[in-house]
Amino acid sequence: MANVIDEIRAANRSFMDLFKQADAAGVAALYTHDARLLPPDSPMMTGTDAIRSFWQGAMNMGIREASLETVAVEGGDSLAYEIGTYTLTIQPEGGQKKTAAGKYVVVWKSEGGKWKLHVDIWNSSGT
């Protein structure tokens, strides 16, 4: 279990680093090949290509950073879930910097000996 948490934290650090570098393909590679993304106000998306396009679009819209903080992890073996909070830093070209805060649930799955995001859903915290 300690290992699972450590590996999830490490994967989240990669997520944040790759996001800051606007590397949508790198972010998408942190997900399983058949992962599902459930963004607010959008239909569900499935698979690496759709997930890369989604994050590329978010970066193009001015999301510069995604800061992730783990609140709870439970599970083991091949599936685990994580609850966390996020803060997005948004600065469209020539626009003002602002932030958006929310919470998420990620189901992590071990694929090829690596823990990857398998289901990713989030919503606003309303503040």
Q: Which residues would be at the binding site for its own copies (CB under 8 A)?
A: 36, 38-44, 71-72, 74-75, 79, 81, 83, 103-105, 107, 119, 121-127
Q: 62 vs 75, which CB is nearer to its own copies? A: 75
Query: Measured from the CB of residue 118, what is the shortest distance to its own copies in angstroms?
Result: 8
Q: How far is the CB of 106 from its own copies (least distance, A)?
A: 9
Q: Give the nearer residue to its own copies in terms of CB position, either 16 or 38.
A: 38
Q: How far is Cα 112 from Cα 95, in angstroms, rounded to an integer?
A: 42
In whole angstroms, the minimum distance from the beta carbon of 65 to its own copies comes to 21
Residue 83: count of CB within 10 angstroms of its CB: 13
**In the complex, least distance from residue 39 CB atom to its own copies, rounded to whole angstroms:** 8
CA-CA distance, 103 to 74, in Å (whole number)? 17
The burial of 44, by beta-carbon neighbours within 10 Å (0-12 exposed, 13-18 middle, 19 or more buried), is given as exposed
33, 91, 107 from 79: Cα distances, Å: 15, 35, 7
Beta carbon nearer to its own copies, 70 or 91: 70
Residue with tokens 């996020």: 86
Nearer to its own copies, 96 or 127 (CB): 127
